[in-house]
Amino acid sequence: MFTSHAANFSPPNGAGAYGVGFRVIQQYDRARVFRQKTDLTSGAPAAGERARPLQTLVWYPAGKSAGRQLHYRDYLGTTATETLFERSATEAGRVVARTLEEEYANLSAQQARTEMDQPMLALRDAPAAPGTFPVVIYAPGSSSPAHENADLCEYLASHGYVVMASASMGVDTRGITIDLDGAEAQAADIGFLVGHAATVAQADRTRIAVVGYSFGGLANVLAAARDDRIGALVALDGSVRYHPSIAQAAAYATPERLALPMLYMGGKPATAEAMNRNGQVPAYSLLNRMKYADLYNVTMYTMAHAAFQSESLRLGPEGRFGEYSRDEAALAYGWMEKYVLAFLDAHLKGDAQALQFMQAAPKANGVPAHLLAVDVHRAEGAPPTLATLAAAFAARGHAGLAAVYRDMSRRAPDFKPAERALISWGEPFLEQQRYAQAIDIFALANALYPDSWRAAFYLAMAYDRNRDNAHAIEQYERVLGYWPDMAEARQSIVRLRAQAPGTGAPR
């Protein structure tokens, strides 16, 4: 029987200035349950730990010291303990053998041994390099293991990044579902790793990006929409493009919440006719709606979907790369790595040369002709959010909030901060006795919500504490117009009217 030859994959780019260390952290997200009460295999009550297991692979900058060099079989072996941390090395070996047999039957026994014995860049538990480094969280494709793009992760670590990854899993199963529940489960895993980064001495938790492949390139967008600690996004042929209905169902994933730089690297686009046949002509595109983001949209003409994942390049059959050869896909993968690194250097490290690379034409960067194309969309100003309003208010010396809001609403007529958000914003000013600023904020809340007793009450309190009795009484009386029995408003009016003349001068 003829077996196709799987050529060895060699990393297309040289390593950076750092050595690469590697470790495995076995931890649980105890805020989420993973194993159901009843074991679905035995039918008996589940025993042992039921919290969500998040085995985390970490690549980090290290000194170029001696250590146990990893081989590709070591990465494949980590899949054995993704959900069962207690599995032995012998069991891990069986998992590797079964994976090769079931998923990579294209490899002969000799070819499989050759690929498994390939040396990797990382050294197990190597001493960490001194200093702190930006964090990259890698989100794999649907149901895929954390190591699927080990070559990219090693490459980034060698250039000064702490890289973390966990497997793509469903809500309570090892396999993920291709729906909003599945995407949000993976997004929550990303959020857990963002939090974990704060416990890693080498990690700079103020500089975090998330790189996602395939379905991970949708989950990372949802994670960023809910967690502004994430400062940049990379999607490698991400499902944010291919599953628009899931992106649209996540109502919180709005342009205002996605005002961060993003690199989208996609494969050769299908023809309009093929997209029509496959029902892939959606009216909704989250990428097109991200108008407050600097979006770099890179088309990789010689990359099929599988070519964005280095395990496919190492072990997969030639047919995974469509009309292109493995060598052509590997060449493109190398340029993918270069663009990912330049993007991260530009936006997490503030590297001017890297930013120039991102803004240059591919030919100027030395890219072979017809390999890729870059389309850049510049952010259309700051997003209309409460944070933007607060920053503009501060820039004016915390004065004239009404004018600041008018300027913003001219650009974004629908911008209307929530009443409770405005009140929460004003409360610290009240507590810090910065009454003029509190009055400005609560006055805006009253202008936007004129029928709210709550907004009137907070404005009354601000005037009261500022000893502006006349305005305080006026606002307390407004409160009683909405809530006639509110004792605190009645008592405050009595108290203010009883004060001796001159004691109510504003301060």
Write out 312-349 in H/E/C secondary structure. Answer: HHHHCCHHHHCCCCHHHHHHHHHHHHHHHHHHHHHHHC
- CATH code for residues 386-498: 1.25.40.10
| pLDDT for 5 beyond 60 | no
Task: Please state, in angstroms and rounded to a whole number, the distance separating the CA atoms of residues 285 and 3.
Answer: 42
- Residue tagged 């809530």 (tokens): 483
- Residue tagged 């599945």 (tokens): 182
Task: Please state, in angstroms and rounded to a whole number, the distance separating the CA atoms of residues 72 and 441.
Answer: 58
Average pLDDT, the chain: 94
Q: What confidence category does residue 15 fall into, taking pLDDT thresholds of 50, 70 and 90?
A: very high
Sorted by where each begins, the domain ranges of the chain are: 19-377, 386-498
Question: What is the arithmetic mean of pLDDT over 345-360?
Answer: 98
Top-confidence range, 5-14, 424-433, 497-506 = 424-433
Task: Please state, in angstroms and rounded to a whole number, the distance separating the CA atoms of residues 246 and 239.
Answer: 9
For 210, the enclosing helix (H) or strand (E) is strand 203-213
pLDDT in tens, 167-207: 999 999 999 999 999 999 999 999 999 999 999 999 999 99
Question: What is the arithmetic mean of pLDDT over 27-31?
Answer: 97
Q: What confidence category does residue 4 fall into, taking pLDDT thresholds of 50, 70 and 90?
A: very low
Q: Residue 32's closest CA among 188, 227, 235, 240? A: 188
Q: Which long-range contacts (CB under 8 A, 24 or more apart) does 446-454 make?
A: 447/402, 448/416, 448/417, 448/419, 448/422, 449/419, 451/482, 452/419, 452/482, 453/478, 453/479, 453/482, 453/483, 453/486, 454/419, 454/420, 454/423
- Count CA within 13 A, CB hemisphere, residue 500: 1
Question: What is the arithmetic mean of pLDDT over 454-459?
Answer: 98
Distances (CA, A) of 228 to 208, 224, 259, 261, 297: 10, 6, 9, 12, 22
Question: What is the arithmetic mean of pLDDT over 285-291?
Answer: 94
Q: What confidence category does residue 283 fall into, taking pLDDT thresholds of 50, 70 and 90?
A: confident
Q: Contact at 8 Å (CB) between 358 and 352?
A: no
Task: Please state, in angstroms and rounded to a whole number, the distance separating the CA atoms of residues 5 and 319.
Answer: 11
Q: Contact at 8 Å (CB) between 21 and 123?
A: yes
Task: Please state, in angstroms and rounded to a whole number, the distance separating the CA atoms of residues 222 and 250.
Answer: 7
The length of the chain in residues reads: 507
Task: Please state, in angstroms and rounded to a whole number, the distance separating the CA atoms of residues 375 and 364.
Answer: 15
**Which amino acid would we find at residue 70?**
L
Distances (CA, A) of 403 to 13, 384, 391, 409, 410: 53, 15, 14, 10, 11
| pLDDT for 369 beyond 80 | yes
Tokens coding 21: 């260390």
* ∠ CA 173-175-176, rounded to 5°: 95
Backbone phi and psi for residue 21, each to the nearest 5 degrees, phi listed first: -100, 160
Q: Contact at 8 Å (CB) between 303 and 332?
A: yes
Question: What is the arithmetic mean of pLDDT over 11-27?
Answer: 96
Q: Contact at 8 Å (CB) between 156 and 138?
A: no
Tokens coding 161: 């990044």
Q: What confidence category does residue 438 fall into, taking pLDDT thresholds of 50, 70 and 90?
A: very high
- The predicted structure's pLDDT at residue 6: 45
| pLDDT for 230 beyond 90 | yes
Superfamily of domain 19-377 in CATH is Alpha/Beta hydrolase fold, catalytic domain (3.40.50.1820)
